[in-house]
């Protein structure tokens, strides 16, 4: 007997997912989309399969706000093992170089300021960056030599949390495009040794923090209502943008894709990107020009 087709639900919102070890980001999205029977889902900011921590999952209309989360500040905790470099800059790769040098804590601490602010970083060959239309990691796995150009990244803060002879643990607060594996590699080179990442956990992405993250087993243990209760409003992804509050009449016009005149003594005349809300819920992304809010993307519905 043929199984009845599962009905996809038009749900919208953000799930602050605590990704487990050895699960790819795309696999996580597929599994959670199935658990929620969601019509649409995506993630904001890929995590390596060997990394754990916050992988924000967007459902429905929240997928339209993914760029806001991807561009947000990220916090990582990571462990570097000194004395060996690998093909992937983490424990998944093969050892390609070794060194007897083990850095001391004072030397490490003194070095960190060189790796904060806006710096140049060469991404690792095993990365999702496209080279002539192909992912760098696909080329690297095929045995091709991958040379990626250095690019500017911004590391807001880098601090040493713990140190032993063989390993050190760090916290990095950084912006989009930073590769922690490359950071570990470069720290080791600057210290005259080799190194690779043995553990990596993302503890914050934009407005989403580790304390609010939910693991896969906890989600699987809930019924549909319990899972839905975990979803955060779309508006949480828009906190850094100005909010335009709409009246019922304005909401009707916005729903048809029409601009609306903003009234009142504090009504903005010109703004860059902004978002509109109705009764506390996000309903559109857009901009303000000459006192009018012009919607670019509607956020209502599933």
State the DSSP string of the chain: -PPPPPPPB---EEEEEEEPTT--HHHHHHHHHHHHTBS-EEESS---TT-EEEEEEEEGGGGGGHHHHHTS-EEEEEEEEETEEETTSBTTSPEEEE-S----HHHHHHHGGGGSEEEEEPPPSSSS-EETTEEHHHHHHTT----PPPEEEEEEEEEEEEE-SSEEEEEEEE-TT--HHHHHHHHHHHTTS-EEEEEEEEEEETTEEGGG-EEHHHHHTS-HHHHHHTPBPGGGGGTTSPEEEPPHHHHHHHHTT--EE--STT--S-EEEEEEEETTEEEEEEEEETTEEEEEEE----
- List the catalytic residue out of 18, 22, 48, 90: 48
Active site residue 48: yes
The per-residue pLDDT for 2 is 59
- Give the pLDDT score at 62: 96
pLDDT of residue 103: 96
Q: What pTM was computed for the model?
A: 0.89
pLDDT digits (tens, 9 = 90+) for 228-263: 999 999 999 998 899 999 999 999 999 999 999 998
Low-confidence ranges of the chain (pLDDT < 50): 302
pLDDT score for 302 = 47
All domains of the chain, ordered by start, with CATH? Answer: 13-72+207-236 (3.30.2350.10), 74-205 (3.30.2350.10), 241-298 (2.30.130.10)
């Amino acid at each position: 007997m043929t199984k009845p087709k599962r009905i996809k639900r038009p749900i919208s919102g953000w799930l602050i997912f605590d990704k487990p070890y050895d699960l790819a980001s795309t696999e996580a999205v597929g599994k959670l989309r199935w658990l929620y029977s969601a019509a649409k889902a995506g993630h904001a900011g890929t995590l390596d399969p060997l990394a754990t921590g916050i992988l924000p999952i967007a459902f429905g209309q929240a997928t339209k706000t993914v760029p806001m989360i991807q561009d947000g500040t990220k916090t990582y905790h990571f462990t570097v093992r000194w004395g060996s470099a690998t093909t992937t800059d983490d424990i998944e790769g093969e050892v390609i170089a070794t060194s007897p040098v083990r850095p001391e804590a004072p030397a490490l601490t003194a070095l960190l300021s060189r790796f904060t602010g806006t710096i140049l970083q060469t991404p690792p060959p095993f990365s999702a960056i496209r080279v002539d239309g192909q992912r760098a990691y696909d080329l690297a796995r095929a045995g091709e030599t991958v040379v990626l150009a250095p690019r500017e990244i911004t590391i807001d803060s880098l601090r040493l949390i713990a140190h032993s002879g063989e390993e050190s643990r760090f916290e990095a607060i950084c912006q989009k495009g930073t590769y922690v594996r490359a950071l570990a590699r470069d720290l080791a080179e600057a210290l005259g040794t080799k190194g690779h990442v043995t553990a990596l956990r993302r503890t914050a992405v934009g407005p989403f923090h580790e304390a609010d993250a939910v693991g896969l087993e906890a989600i699987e243990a809930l019924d549909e209502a319990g899972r839905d209760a975990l979803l955060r409003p779309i508006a949480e992804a828009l906190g850094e943008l100005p909010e335009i509050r709409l009246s019922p009449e304005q909401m009707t016009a916005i729903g048809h894709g029409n601009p609306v005149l903003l009234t009142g003594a504090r009504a903005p005349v010109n703004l860059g990107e902004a978002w509109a809300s109705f009764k506390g819920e996000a309903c559109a992304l857009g901009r303000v020009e000459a006192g009018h809010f012009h919607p670019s993307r509607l956020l209502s519905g599933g």
